[in-house]
Amino acid sequence: MSGKAILIVMDSVGIGELPDAGRYGDRGSDTLGSLFRLIKDFHIPNLIDLGLGNISDVNIPVKSKSPAGCFGKAAELSPGKDTTTGHWEIAGLVLKEPFPVYPDGFPDEVILPFKKSIGRDILWNRPASGSEIINRLGDEHVESGKPIVYTSADSVFQIAAHEDVIPLETLYRYCEAARSILTGKHSVGRVIARPFTGSDGRYVRTKNRRDFSLPPSGPTILDIISNAGMETAGVGKISDIFAGQGLSRTIKAKSNDECINETIKLMAEDFRGLIFTNLVDFDMLYGHRNDVQGYGAAMEALDRRIPELIAALGNDDVLILTADHGCDPSTLSTDHSREYIPVLVYGPSLKRGINIGVLDSFSDIGATVLDILKVDGGRQISGKSFLEKII
């Protein structure tokens, strides 16, 4: 094959607990299964047609008699369940050690130099739900000017600030300061700017979020494809997740629809390489807020756009739809969940209806992308390609 590879990550769309989910407090989590169980007349026919319901052992009551795509699921080898870990593994980089987490908040060796760097005190410094903490502390923040620092079950240092109190560029500088401090044993996966607006205890986060991630600790498919002289375009927060490493182009889009629009524009261009897209709305707007109905509506909205993506494919192009972790909106937790991820593959030149089974690692996806593009990754990345099964 010699066309484009289009790799779309449906952020947090997990399909059932991994065998070790109990170690992470996620026993019983099933993001997509929960939508089918709890939403009346939940309808995603185009994804079903690609083979989503035909994946082994998924709690999806609808199957296709003749799937148009190839289908399977992948387990995560890396420890953890966060965005950075999941995306890095998809791109061929499997972590041996988890990113650090802070269930009791960040220690003085992190917080004191951070406060000195930004020249002001902070609020909170404990785990929290982002949407809840801004309403709980928003008034105090507006009055005092102190940014809200919080974390979660994931490896994140999050800074929330009202856009009229701490301007966006200042907030981003605070994040850069934190990123420079969070090194060594405190190398969290992401520092995240969480701007919000509103007043009088009624605050909402804006779409001006920005992630400041660690650079990948080893080569990824982005590096390999780029070094082979091909294009690597990151849409949405892909550049943030990989700290820009290995990307020849970055397209900043803030919603699922914007990301799909930009992806389709890129698909119309004449180039060979990888389009890597993250659809963040599922996770950011609905999973973390335990909004089952909203999550379902977002899935249905994506499903309606699948025909557009398929129509934009060239004869040698391949579309891969997958995820990076779960975030079951039906559980008590508002955090990510340790789940299998779906793997749906479609291309005009590929076989139809092939069950690729259960992949041992997310990195098998990255290895397959290299095969699609006829790029030799050697032993630079983890993963085993499944292209031979479907070509």
Residues in the chain: 391
Strands 190-199 and 210-213 come out as antiparallel
If we measure between CA atoms, which residue out of 15, 39, 40, 42 comes closest to residue 29?
15
Q: Rounded to 5 degrees, what are φ and ψ at 296?
A: -60, -40
Does the structure show a pLDDT above 70 at 283? yes
Confidence of residue 5 (pLDDT cuts 50, 70, 90): very high
- Considering the domain architecture, whether residues 67 and 23 belong to the same structural domain is answered as yes
- Considering the domain architecture, whether residues 228 and 369 belong to the same structural domain is answered as yes
* Average pLDDT for the chain: 96
Give the mean pLDDT of 86-114: 96
- Considering the domain architecture, whether residues 338 and 292 belong to the same structural domain is answered as yes
* Residue 128 near residue 150 (C-beta atoms within 8 A): yes
Amino acid 2: pLDDT: 59
* Residue 100 near residue 109 (C-beta atoms within 8 A): no
pTM for the whole thing? 0.92
Amino acid 379: pLDDT: 84
- Considering the domain architecture, whether residues 240 and 366 belong to the same structural domain is answered as yes
The domain total for the chain is 2
- Considering the domain architecture, whether residues 203 and 261 belong to the same structural domain is answered as no
Q: Which tens digit of pLDDT belongs to each residue from 24-50?
A: 999 999 999 999 999 999 999 999 999
Q: Rounded to 5 degrees, what are φ and ψ at 246?
A: 85, 0
- Considering the domain architecture, whether residues 141 and 13 belong to the same structural domain is answered as no
**Residue after which a domain boundary falls, among 212, 241, 264:** 212
Amino acid 30: pLDDT: 98
Token output for 78: 């890396």
- Considering the domain architecture, whether residues 350 and 276 belong to the same structural domain is answered as yes
Does the structure show a pLDDT above 70 at 354? yes
Give the mean pLDDT of 193-216: 93
Give the other-Cβ count within 10 Å of 29's Cβ: 26
Calculate the alpha carbon distances from 246 to 75, 333, 386 in Å. Answer: 25, 34, 23
Confidence of residue 254 (pLDDT cuts 50, 70, 90): confident
Give the mean pLDDT of 320-341: 96
Does the structure show a pLDDT above 80 at 282? yes
Residue at 103 is within a domain: no
Q: Which tens digit of pLDDT belongs to each residue from 136-172?
A: 999 999 999 999 999 988 899 999 999 999 999 999 9
- Considering the domain architecture, whether residues 285 and 179 belong to the same structural domain is answered as no
Residue at 101 is within a domain: no
Does the structure show a pLDDT above 60 at 332? yes
Residue at 176 is within a domain: yes
Q: Would you give the end-to-end CA distance of the chain in angstroms?
A: 9
- Considering the domain architecture, whether residues 72 and 191 belong to the same structural domain is answered as no
SS3 content of the chain, % helix, strand, coil (to 5): 35, 20, 45
What is the rounded CA–CA span in Å between residue 318 and residue 1? 9
Please report, rounded to a whole number, the percentage of residues in the chain having pLDDT higher than 90: 93
- Considering the domain architecture, whether residues 167 and 140 belong to the same structural domain is answered as yes
Give the mean pLDDT of 308-333: 97
Amino acid 1: pLDDT: 56
- Considering the domain architecture, whether residues 237 and 361 belong to the same structural domain is answered as yes
- The CATH number assigned to the domain holding 269 equals 3.40.720.10
Amino acid 65: pLDDT: 97
- The CATH number assigned to the domain holding 126 equals 3.30.70.1250
- Considering the domain architecture, whether residues 165 and 227 belong to the same structural domain is answered as no
**Residue after which a domain boundary falls, among 212, 227, 248:** 212
- Domain coverage including residue 136: 108-212
* Residue 356 near residue 389 (C-beta atoms within 8 A): yes
**Residue after which a domain boundary falls, among 212, 230, 262:** 212
